[in-house]
Chains A and B, each alone.
Chain A
Amino acid sequence: QVQLQESGPGLLKPSETLSLTCVVSGYSISSGYYWGWIRQPPGKGLEWIGSIYHTGSTSYSPSLKSRVTVSMETSKNQFSLKLSSVSVADTAMFYCARGSSGYVENHFDYWGQGILVTVSS
């Protein structure tokens, strides 16, 4: 059973860098599939942030690309998200998820429970 668990600070100030980690259990991320981050502002819809393949290849949403870095640490079976220069508009629930294939163009079949990140001065 594939399980994902997000962790990181829940409160940031504007202009700080958001750093989240997703620990995967039940599957070795170095074996394949894309691994992604999706966010959901309170009461709103879902937005794809970016994904990473086990080779380290990444793909990002154009609207966030200038501020986003997704990386992975296969020895710890985890991948991470960094979002720089956050503002109040970045307040959201952040989910990590497994892409359903070895192509970046995929849907997500396993999701973490999510972590709420609030940006406030």
Chain B
Amino acid sequence: EIVLTQSPGTLSLSPGERATLSCRASETVSHRYLAWYQQKPGQAPRLLISGASGRVIGIPDRFTGSGSGTDFSLTISRLEPEDSAVYYCQQYGTLPLTFGGGTKVEIK
């Protein structure tokens, strides 16, 4: 199965700063089938990005996904307090579907 490794484990930044989250796959993710989710405490994951860079309708444009092959990233260009959450990547190019371990974004 494709193992997704997310880094860093925790990111602590101030409002207005840029956050860059990494998701590295153990093998090529076919068709760039990589999604990003945001999960706040006590809530279900929320889909942000699909197809590596396709922002879901209603997601603010400060969230940008990029990458291909084995290296993907999620950038939050101007952090806001409500962006405090854990972010997960998921690959859906190959079964079994797998998720990364998550990156926690803390807002100072």
Give the B-binding residues of A (Cβ under 8 A).
36, 45-48, 51, 59, 61-63, 95, 97, 100, 104-109, 111-114
Contact = CB atoms under 8 A, between A and B. Distances in A.
The 9 nearest A-B residue pairs measured at CB: A107-B35, A111-B44, A48-B97, A46-B99, A45-B101, A61-B96, A105-B92, A107-B92, A109-B47
B96 A106 contact: no
Query: Binding site of A, secondary structure by majority: helix, strand, loop or mixed?
Result: loop
B96 A46 contact: no
B53 to A, nearest CB: 13
B94 interface: yes
Interface in B53-108: 56, 88, 90, 92-102
A105 B33 contact: yes
Contacts of B95: 59, 104-105
B40 to A, nearest CB: 12
B50 interface: yes
A46 B45 contact: yes
Nearest to B96: A61
A59 to B, nearest CB: 6
B35 A114 contact: no
A62 B2 CA distance: 13
